[in-house]
Amino acid sequence: MTPTLADIREKLFASVVSDCLDQLGLRHQAVASRIRPLDEATIMVGRARTAAFMEVWHAPAGVNPYELEIALIDSLKPGEIPVFACANAARVGPWGELLTTAAMARGAAGALMDGCVRDVKAIRALGFPVFHGGVAPLDSKGRGKVMTIDEPIECAGAPVASGDLVFGDADGVVIVPRAAEADVLRLAMEKVAGERDTLADLRRGDRLADVFARYGIL
């Protein structure tokens, strides 16, 4: 049976998913370690919706600088996660309380960006999972503009396409491509079961070398 997003959230961990991606030769699916959750207690599991920013230095009068960004947020479906490639993480801060509120109202499962986030206290109070590349008061207006949505991107070094599975927790974020998802999840569920047995044996005092020889898990 294919695990649901709720099953994945309840039973798996980013580190286990990353190990299973490695096992299948997919060794570049973890976003860079600088991407951190606003709240380490949150877990983010859902389907990617991608957006790519272009860096800009002004906002022309009479032009809506948020047009495609708004379109993406308004089109979110339950369980989806906006994933932003921000062009310049130090200058482009696309996420704050208003986008959080709009995304939550549509059932989004979180947000991922390699740029900055603001309105930190308000977002933490809402309990919405946001994984970011920094905290700054910057607005994206006049600094970055979404040029395309639902096209393949790279977010903090990891390739992402709309529909890919996104898993984030206190250890970081991994992206599971749709083509490999069934195999990754099968391996991950098996590994979690094996780790439970490994932990039980270690707690009763078995030698680490013996336990590793028994289960092959470390």
Rounded to an integer, what distance in angstroms lies between the CA atom of residue 173 and that of residue 124? 18
208 exposure class (CB count in 10 Å sphere: 0-12, 13-18, 19+):
exposed
At 42, list the tokens: 């949150």
- State the average pLDDT over residues 113-139: 97
**pLDDT at site 172:** 98
Using the predicted structure, report yes or no on whether residue 178 has a pLDDT greater than 90: yes
Taking the C-alpha atoms of residue 2 and residue 100, their distance in angstroms, rounded to an integer, is 29
User: Percent of the chain at pLDDT above 70?
Assistant: 100
- Residue 198 has what pLDDT? 78
pLDDT of residue 217: 73
Pairing of strands 80-85, 153-155: unpaired
pLDDT in tens, 127-155: 999 999 999 999 999 999 999 999 999 99
Q: DSSP class of residue 133?
A: S
pTM of the model: 0.91
CATH of domain 5-178: 3.50.30.40
Sign of CA dihedral 190, 192, 197, 202: positive
Domain boundaries in the chain? Answer: 5-178, 184-215
